[in-house]
Structure 1
């Protein structure tokens, strides 16, 4: 019996050229949520931040680029890697959170959608190529992969382009310590339908949403600076609540995905988790490993890029995946028949996981 597989045939990413180290935040004056000034020395604030998040530097886009621009670059690289004609793409699914934000402004622009802009940038003329945006918080790119798989398995598409792109640097409050977390980046994959004897590609997925108390753990709010304009809003988050929520719920979603895939947990070779916070990611994977009695160590399973690239939301997983596939993470590799998990958590609050066999 032949299987209809959803297979990633090409990957691409764009890592911005502007490197911003932690030292560059020593010039900032940080405030608490109640607008009181943080009296702790900035050097101590930054050192504590690095200990918690693992971030030493992050990448921001140059002034001339927006999310759709870098998404198109990543997409073009994925298409070239797959060796396909762009005119044969059925769906362009673009995960993001804030649309295009021009340098020097804080206004989000999603008219037209980023997917339509990227289709335009790619020069695709085919009217049957349908572009649309997906807003699902940081798990957006993984959710796009789940949707592409659904299109393929249902027969509605044969070839999908799934992109994650964000420029969070344009929405940070420079008086909030959390601004040091956020970064920019884009990643993309081409997913194609393949009729094959063996089952491979996307084996399973799981997703969760909790909105009763959790909906506004991430939100837009005014700057912490006491003299800021209350009508201008920036990325804000309830860090402790997010940490606790993720630690309880993400390992469970990952476990469900493995059970749905029909594979043994010990068969998993890599876990590509959203690069949100190094300590949080380690704690999530440790709990998952313990829950599923996996024998591999966390460092062996979990490649990380957050130290150098920061948290680019929907861009973290596809960027990290492309880096591994292209040999840019020498301590990690993915071989034929390896089973990889993608897992993410973010605004909503939303969680998802995908099990993929190479």
Structure 2
């Protein structure tokens, strides 16, 4: 009689996507400045057209005026718990990934106490004191790092069930005078992971994380507006796009390859590559570089291996991966599906600079 294996599997997922659609044309009236505070030379029509060509973003979602990140996270959590069909009181941990806490409309004040995880646990009305709720600020890879932490808990026997949420309202922390502000959006996604006895290993097969900080730490940071007439004590999200791009297309493909090797698989075993939705061209370049690491070219890349949401949802940081997964799981992303025994890669890169990857086998 074969012994059972404890696998860390996703029991259910959920998302909360705001209804407010912000088209690229909404930025036509903005005054875009460079880092020195000088107005950009090109007209806004040209700036926006080039932005769309590079990022693939044509629209994004913003939260309702009266909502904050914990509200979005609560909505995603409710959906995930319902889809998993589990009693919230049976959760051992609630891990909430975010980067700016609850930022109210027209405010630059970060509100992170009590932790968003505590706020969401309160909204869920979970009385169990041994359901531990905590936050995880780790840049855009925060949600996936939460999945990795949940996996450790489940494998150690310390937990049977963990709720991992990624939620963000980046529209509240973007400088309207920075053209990069068009990248960011709002949203939340969540999954319930549980320890499950299986005949063969499924769920999380392997994971890897890196943090590079020697010269990379400030490539994504918070700084004042480019508009010197605005309060220079207010901070907005800023980035060195070129350096981040170069870092992503070199660090992430190798990280993914190493993670696949750690799972004792090869690239041809992978059915889906779910990449943090940061920039369409960057994601395509990372996928292309990954295939080159295996000695393959563009003609070898399956047309359906990398589902995308960035075109219509923008970059909502920690929420992009769980939203992407949830949309596929619920059959709401075209022909994409996650069939039993599919081997899937999750990967993300962001502030820190941090990057991570998980190889996941869909349970039957």
TM class, shorter-length: over 0.9
SS, match of residue 11 in structure 2: strand
Within-5 A mapping of 1:301-316: 301-316=305-320
SS, match of residue 291 in structure 2: helix
Name the CA distance, whole Å, in 2 between partners of 1:145 and 1:353: 10
State the match for 2:191 in structure 1.
189
What is the aligned length? Answer: 358
Whether 2:3 is the aligned partner of 1:13: answer: no
Within-5 A mapping of 1:16-95: 16-95=18-97
TM-score after normalising by structure 2:
0.97
State the match for 1:149 in structure 2.
151
CA RMSD of superposed structures (Å): 1.0
SS, match of residue 27 in structure 1: coil
How far has the Cα of 1:274 moved from its partner? 0.3
Deviation readout 1:84-142 (Å, 9 max, x if unpaired):
00000000000000000111211010110000000001110000000000011000000
How far has the Cα of 1:196 moved from its partner? 1.2
Name the CA distance, whole Å, in 1 between partners of 2:4 and 2:290: 33
Runs (5+) with no aligned partner, structure 2? none
SS, match of residue 177 in structure 2: coil
Name the CA distance, whole Å, in 1 between partners of 2:156 and 2:254: 27
Whether 2:256 is the aligned partner of 1:233: answer: no
SS, match of residue 223 in structure 1: coil
Whether 2:74 is the aligned partner of 1:99: answer: no
State the match for 1:277 in structure 2.
279
Name the CA distance, whole Å, in 1 between partners of 2:335 and 2:230: 45
Runs (5+) with no aligned partner, structure 1? none
TM-score after normalising by structure 1:
0.99
Deviation readout 1:244-299 (Å, 9 max, x if unpaired):
01111000110111011112221100000000000000000111112124685253
Name the CA distance, whole Å, in 2 between partners of 1:288 and 1:113: 37
Name the CA distance, whole Å, in 2 between partners of 1:321 and 1:290: 26
State the match for 1:222 in structure 2.
224
Name the CA distance, whole Å, in 2 between partners of 1:219 and 1:135: 13
Whether 2:334 is the aligned partner of 1:330: answer: yes
SS, match of residue 321 in structure 1: helix
How far has the Cα of 1:212 moved from its partner? 0.4
How far has the Cα of 1:331 moved from its partner? 2.5
Describe the shift of the 1:235–1:172 C-alpha distance in structure 2 as closer, same or farther (beyond 3 A): same
How far has the Cα of 1:230 moved from its partner? 1.4
Deviation readout 1:154-191 (Å, 9 max, x if unpaired):
11111000000000000010000000000001000000
